[in-house]
Amino acid sequence: MQYFKNIIIALTILLGLITFAQSETSWIKKKDKNETVKKVEEKSNSSWIKKKIKEDKKVYKKEEKEITKEVKSWITKKSKDKYINSIDELPENAIYFTASNETKDLLVYGYVQPDVNSKLINGYYETSKGFGYFNDGKTTCKIGSTVIDVSSGEVTARVSGECTNGIKFTGKTSQNQNTGMGFAKTKDGKNRFLFDFNIQRTEIAKLYNFNLNFSKNNSLLASNQNNEENQINVKPKGKYYALLIGNSNYINWASLKSPKNDVNEIQKVLETQYDFEVETIIDGTEKEIMKGFKKLSKTTSPQDYVLIYYSGHGDNVTLGNITKSYWIPIDGSKESGLGDWISTTEISNYVLEQIPNHHIVVMSDSCYFAMTTKGNKNLTKTNLSYEKLLKRRAMLVIQSGSNEPVEDTVDNKHSVFGKSFIQSLKDNKGVVRMRDIISEIELSHAGMRQQPLWDRLKGWGDNGGDFLFIATK
């Protein structure tokens, strides 16, 4: 009897287990089915979003093409435009601009006004039309722009122009609030124009007059140089040295592509095309970088010329009303205050005081870099000859951006800043001034939010000289 009871109990338990297993299996299947449906829905939604974005882009491109066509049609339409002799005579309630080519021998000033008959994009009219005037007293231009993007309070537009002297140019502008910059080039590629925009005529007048004086000084300089000296025979009294630092592979920070590539290429150009002694530090620790500075101070003499180039991560720290900027070595911690970052104060106090060379240029291609200075904020244009520029002491700082993030690379190899510097050095077959290289770097950043800065360090002994790169091969 007890035997049969045990069998019944066992069968009851087994039946319960089978029922539970079936229930679990059913739940699992149901869950799997739900998850499959969910994934299909997500895929469908993602596909729909991608399709919608593609369709929107297609529609937008079509609209942009039509609007651009309208602007170009207006530009090419024949009309007589009276020459306006000064910026002060430009019409009221407009956006004013001045533009110059790289050599500053072609200068333009003018205005654009919103086309109230065009559509609005976030409060901005899609098209603007206006006129430009060359500084030759006779040449006029028709200028038109088409808004192509409005984001984060910044307006990006295409700019087109056609002038009575045959010059036709096209490019992009970028405006933030009441000011903006733009970049354009002629169709033949012979000239590139840098535009400055402002709603204040007085500000544009200042920029235009600055470029005009620069153009006059350049002409005088060329004349002086041709008359006074053979530029190829310019001979500096001291030697040329370079300390190049490229930090790409970080321990605690994201890796960077451009620093290593940039400094290796700069080293190659300086050694093969120029008579530089080069010390290169790739992926330098705090100790290695400071060791490079110390070696430079011991190797060089007061009459020598020194280039210091840094590419890598940078950051800043604000304590109260004081903000300090830093270079980040590859072993630098993610958090500040641990003593393994190199501050701009340390750079200025040690490098510029312990390396008392005749000419020093510090170039920094990093985020959040603001060199501690005792000087002003401009690089004065002079009409001095090369020999006189060499005699006068020069202490310069050039930065790829202000207290802001900067781009790592635009071509998957070099940064905009580094690439422009390298190209300027390669293109030179005689003598090139640092201020001319700065102009090239400036042009390479045209239309970008990131803008390069420079400074003369008068408090450290700058006397109006310039750093000259003299090609020897």
Q: What are the residues facing 114 on neighbouring strands?
A: 128
Cα–Cα distance measured from residue 139 to residue 136, given in angstroms and rounded to the nearest whole number:
7
Say if residue 27's pLDDT is above 60.
no
CATH topology of domain 225-470: Rossmann fold (3.40.50)
Q: What is the pLDDT of residues 368-389, one digit of tens each?
A: 666 544 333 444 445 567 777 8
Least confident of 43-47, 110-114, 204-208, 336-340: 43-47
Q: What is the pLDDT of residue 49?
A: 43
Mean pLDDT, residues 442-450: 64
Q: What is the pLDDT of residue 91?
A: 92
Say if residue 57's pLDDT is above 50.
no
The token pair at 337 is: 């205050």
Q: How confident is the model at residue 218 (pLDDT cuts 50, 70, 90)?
A: low
Least confident of 16-20, 116-120, 278-282, 319-323: 16-20
Q: What is the pLDDT of residue 133?
A: 94
Say if residue 270's pLDDT is above 90.
yes
Max mean pLDDT among 29-38, 84-93, 172-181, 348-357 falls in 84-93
Spans of all domains in the chain: 53-206, 225-470
Computed over its alpha carbons, how large is the radius of gyration of the chain? Answer: 31
Of 34 and 392, the one with more pLDDT: 392
Kindly list the distances between the CA atom of residue 197 and the CA atoms of 72, 83, 121, 441, in Å, as whole numbers in the listed order: 21, 20, 20, 19
53-206 has CATH 2.40.128.120 classification: yes
Of 11 and 288, the one with more pLDDT: 288
Say if residue 223's pLDDT is above 70.
no
Q: What is the pLDDT of residue 46?
A: 46
Mean pLDDT, residues 324-343: 82
Q: What are the residues facing 365 on neighbouring strands?
A: 311
Mean pLDDT, residues 3-19: 50
Q: What is the pLDDT of residue 53?
A: 42
Cα–Cα distance measured from residue 92 to residue 262, given in angstroms and rounded to the nearest whole number:
47
Of 22 and 339, the one with more pLDDT: 339
**Cβ-contact 98, 200 below 8 angstroms:** no
Say if residue 34's pLDDT is above 60.
no
